[in-house]
Amino acid sequence: MSESSMSESLRIGYLECFAGISGDMLMGALVDAGAPIDLLRRTAASLALGAELQVTRVSRSGIQSTKIDVMVDGRLHEPVAASGPIEHEHDHKHDHPHEHSAHHEHEHGRTLPEIRSLLMHADLTERARDLSLNAFGLLAEAEGRIHGIPAEKVHFHEVGGIDAIVDIACSAAAADALDLDGWYCSPVNVGSGFVNCAHGRFPVPAPATAELLKNLPIYSAHVQMELVTPTGAALLRALECRFESTPVMRTQAIGYGAGTRNPDRFPNVLRVSVGEIAQTPHWDGEKVIVLECAVDDLSPQVLAHTAQLALERGALDVMSGSVTMKKGRLGTLLTVLCKHGDADHLQQLIFRETTTLGIRVREENRVVLAREITPVQTDFGVIHIKTGSWQGEDWNAAPEFEDCRRAAAAFDVPLKTVMQAALAAWRTRQVGLDPAGTTLEAGSRS
């Protein structure tokens, strides 16, 4: 089995959220890692919100990063951050729109259907549109659970603004452009302190953010500021990131996306690494029941009889092995593998046929190769070959013992001679020839 047939490369993105995540940080990191900025500018324009993207290179604790701001009418579409380190508006991308016009006031009341309509009419690929819709759907569900209303009736405040809609749509477009097979993510630093939201002052993370981060690995360290915004948390969920240890990967590109603030000696950036990992084989598994007991006062012949009965009555496999029991007595460990539906009557069989007073029962996972029985013609008649394959490739092959035993007796030849002949015939069949050397017709391979 060659290494190439055992695995194949997958392109992934790995997000390192040591400074949290927001929509604009993700957008900047993806552009820094290779997503075309012209695509994101076209995406922003297609939303018909009058928004443009301003891209700058900034330093965050000495790290050169990409900062992307949403501009409307030439103005930065986010409020000025509060000066205090603890109580402030959303720090990375301030999702509160300005309230200097009736148009902006309307943004506080956008509903999910309104945002969905904007995204449906935008210039997005199917995959990018689905990612955007999923992110806003997750946001609506989170807000709905907090306020006790259906998701469709949620009126978005912070995340209904132009900047949040652009952040999500453009991040989705950038992620789609990188064309990755999957996403991994580190544990997420949420920060600490308090944040001012539309409904009041709350501890970090804000209620919607906390709801979206449920069951994800989070921690709080280093600074008193909000490090994860609702849009950032929603995008993490929509990307279906795998929160596992750092994957073994060959990194091909690294991008840094900058947050709005620049605290002292703390790099307020999101890092994304793009590269390849080896895909491990996916094995089809099943649940099986293991029945096990140890006996030290039973004849081996009775154990052999019990094992044969168990196989005849549905056991998947039966094994026995020598064990040392209490007081140094030698005994036999009997193990029966079976399906759930056969467990009860096989337990009864073991109690009836052996002297055990108890059976250990447990459920285990079993992975198996696909099995097939193939008849082959040999000089000693037809012998059946049992094969085990995975993804269409045969990994194991063995002649049926009883077939070989009968043929050896009938032809008065060594058993190993028949077994070798059967395997030789099977190998010849695999390359498209019958034992006589003639080519088999198409489709004749089992």
- The yes-or-no verdict on residue 84 having pLDDT over 60 is no
pLDDT band with cut points at 50, 70 and 90 for residue 236: very high
More confident site: 240 or 86: 240
Distance CA 292, CA 358 (A): 9
CA 107 centroid distance within chain: 36
**Cβ distance 91 to 261 under 8 Å?**
yes
303: three-class secondary structure by DSSP: helix
392: three-class secondary structure by DSSP: coil
Torsion of CA 89, 54, 257, 163, to 10 degrees: 40
- What pLDDT shows up at residue 445? 33
- The yes-or-no verdict on residue 99 having pLDDT over 50 is no
Distance CA 32, CA 23 (A): 14
Among residues 97, 111, 115, 102, which one has the least CA distance to residue 163? 97
Distance CA 391, CA 384 (A): 22
- Non-local (6+) Cβ contacts of 40 within 8 A are 27, 31, 53, 68, 170, 173, 174
- The first and second tokens of residue 254, run together, are 């690294």
* Neighbour-count burial for 81-118, b at 16+ CB within 10 Å, e otherwise: eeeeeeebbbbbbbbbbbeeeeebeebbebbbeebbeb
Q: Where are the beta strands (DSSP E) in 212-266?
A: 218-219, 250-258
Distance CA 363, CA 366 (A): 10
Pair type for strands 250-258 and 269-279: antiparallel
Lowest mean pLDDT segment, chosen from 37-41, 139-143, 228-232, 298-302: 139-143
Using alpha carbons only, give the angle 166, 167, 171 rounded to the nearest 5 degrees: 115
The average confidence (pLDDT) of the chain is 83
DSSP 79: P
- The first and second tokens of residue 334, run together, are 């009997």
Segment 124-134 shows an average pLDDT of 94
**Residue pointed to by tokens 């007073």:** 357
Distance CA 150, CA 54 (A): 36
More confident site: 144 or 256: 256
Question: Rg of the chain's alpha carbons, rounded to an integer?
Answer: 32
Distance CA 166, CA 296 (A): 74
**Residue pointed to by tokens 């992934």:** 12
pLDDT band with cut points at 50, 70 and 90 for residue 198: low
**Cβ distance 319 to 367 under 8 Å?**
no
Tell me: the pLDDT tens digits for 265-324?
899 999 999 999 876 666 667 889 999 999 999 999 999 999 999 999 999 999 999 999
| 79-82 long-range Cβ contacts below 8 angstroms, 24+ apart | 81/260, 81/261, 82/196
**Cβ distance 195 to 201 under 8 Å?**
yes
- Non-local (6+) Cβ contacts of 274 within 8 A are 11, 12, 13, 14, 33, 34, 178, 180, 251, 252, 253, 254, 255
Q: For 269, left (φ over 0), alpha (ψ -120 to 50), or beta?
A: beta
Segment 217-234 shows an average pLDDT of 91
- Non-local (6+) Cβ contacts of 320 within 8 A are 303, 307, 332, 333, 334, 335
Domains (range + CATH), the chain: 3-279 (no CATH), 285-367 (3.30.70.1380), 370-430 (3.10.20.300)
Per mean pLDDT, which of 78-82, 143-147, 192-196, 345-349 is the most reliable?
Answer: 345-349
Backbone angles phi, psi at 130, to 5 degrees: -60, -40
- What pLDDT shows up at residue 126? 94
Q: pTM for the whole thing?
A: 0.60
Tell me: the pLDDT tens digits for 363-421?
998 888 888 888 999 999 999 999 888 777 888 899 999 999 999 999 999 999 999 99
pLDDT band with cut points at 50, 70 and 90 for residue 197: low
Lowest mean pLDDT segment, chosen from 100-104, 357-361, 404-408, 426-430: 100-104
Per mean pLDDT, which of 13-17, 204-208, 362-366, 423-427 is the most reliable?
Answer: 13-17
Using alpha carbons only, give the angle 23, 25, 28 rounded to the nearest 5 degrees: 110
Helix, strand, coil shares of the chain, percent, nearest 5, are 35, 30, 35
